[in-house]
Amino acid sequence: MTVMEPFGARLRRAMDERGPLCVGIDPHASLLAEWGLNDDVAGLERFSRTVVEAMADRVAVLKPQSAFFERFGSRGVAVLEKSVQEARAAGALVVMDAKRGDIGSTMAAYAESFLHKDAPLFSDALTVSPYLGYGSLKPAVDLARESGAGLFVLALTSNPEGGEVQRAVREDGRSVGATMLAHLAAENAGEEPLGSFGAVVGATLGDLSSYDLGINGPLLAPGIGAQGATPADLPRVFGAAVRDVVPNVSRGVLRHGPDVAALRRAADRFAGEIRTAVTAS
């Protein structure tokens, strides 16, 4: 298996060259309807093809949400495969938002599905859930290292329900979310210019100064746009780690479709605002 340059290095370069923006590919039924598309495989394919055409040559990261493709069965997964391959061919990094998490051979199989270089759904990085214990992710961590891919581990998510687990305090006095951040810092120790093992940390969470976000890895930050956070909020939320933030915008960009030019203008605007906020901090 040919080993690529590590994901962290590729991401750092893409963010520096294209701006620190991740755009979601989230073809849920209501958005397909807004675009005048049917909620079927043809609508899914048209939507995904348009987003890739509009974005893949200009944004650093595209993040397809696999569930919206899986709901159409094998034909939906075929659309996802094509979208991933075309996005990567056009220069975007692809983060597969699948939030996989299990133990043993099952976790290894999930890793093979998305992180093996020869897999049809091979992606530059994968979102994973560590809530069967961080050690359960070892098969994915190992394969990501072998293939030059990365992981984004759920740590401090933007959904209100996440706090009951992520902010729970362990016997050692440290919260579960902080423990996940510490594991990731250990994975990334000594990596330059950026480690490949990132955390998902919501941009809507307000003051996170009590958490050590300096994990030497990327911080995937949902919540910009429709969920209420703005690019100007990023320095306040992420502090000294703001340069490593990959803000995710989905509806804030996608609602401008299906017009390709309008999608590009929206993405360029968000990328510019984010770059300004980050560099001014």
Please, are residues 27 and 44 in contact by the beta-carbon 8 Å criterion?
Answer: yes
Please, are residues 92 and 62 in contact by the beta-carbon 8 Å criterion?
Answer: yes
Which residue is associated with the tokens 């990261």? Answer: 61
Q: Which residues are catalytic?
A: 99
- What's the alpha-carbon Rg for the chain, to the nearest Å? 18
The span from the CA of 246 to the CA of 225, in Å, is 14
The span from the CA of 26 to the CA of 38, in Å, is 15
Please, are residues 158 and 227 in contact by the beta-carbon 8 Å criterion?
Answer: yes
Residues 6+ positions from 150 with CB-CB distance below 8 Å: 6, 7, 8, 11, 124, 125, 126, 144, 196, 197, 198, 218
3-state SS class at 200: strand
Please, are residues 176 and 160 in contact by the beta-carbon 8 Å criterion?
Answer: no
Hey, which residues does 128 pair with through a beta bridge?
A: 100, 153
Which residue is associated with the tokens 């690019």? Answer: 231
Residues 6+ positions from 134 with CB-CB distance below 8 Å: 153, 179, 180, 183
